[in-house]
Amino acid sequence: MLYDPRLVQPMRDELTRLGVRELRTSDEVDEALGADGETLVVVNSVCGCAARNARPAVAMAMGHGKQPDRVVTVFAGQDAEATARARQYFAGVRPSSPSLALLSDGELQFMLERHQIEGREARDIAADLTKAYDQYCATSQ
């Protein structure tokens, strides 16, 4: 069962205000995740750990010197087709929401699953992201 779109809109807006691009179809996912360069995929969710930990961590990491070429999001429980397709790019990782995945040329390089997000401070999650950016991203801000 999908969540009411009115319920999730503020949670979507929290990321899109930052410039994160929403992916709502499997074609949009393939286009973004199959592109050359680095892509951060935010699997968004209605849960408290997405609100308190994951989305704020993404916002904090956006100010880091190195950045992925793209930051995109799919919404678990809302954009079912896009979320399922994105998860196909996360080979060997069980479905998890929220989660944060960094891909390079379509290949998974780094992943934070729900159990690595839940109960942690946003600044610590942002530090994990920026460390991954330093390791895998070529683009400086």
**Signed CA dihedral, 96, 107, 58, 131: sign only:** positive
Whether residue 23 lies inside any domain: the answer is yes
Question: Which residues are catalytically annotated?
Answer: 47, 49
The HSE-up count of residue 65 (CA atoms within 13 Å, CB side) is 3
Whether residue 107 lies inside any domain: the answer is yes
Domain hosting 10: range is 5-133
CATH number at residue 67: 3.40.30.10
For 121-131, the pLDDT digits (tens) are 999 999 999 99
Whether residue 56 lies inside any domain: the answer is yes
Whether residue 141 lies inside any domain: the answer is no
Rounded CA separation 108/68 (Å) = 13
Report yes or no on whether pTM surpasses 0.75: yes
As for how many domains the chain has, the answer is 1
For 65-121, the pLDDT digits (tens) are 999 999 999 999 899 999 999 999 998 999 999 999 999 999 999 999 999 999 999
**Signed CA dihedral, 42, 43, 45, 49: sign only:** negative
Bridge-based pairing of strands 38-44 and 99-104 is antiparallel
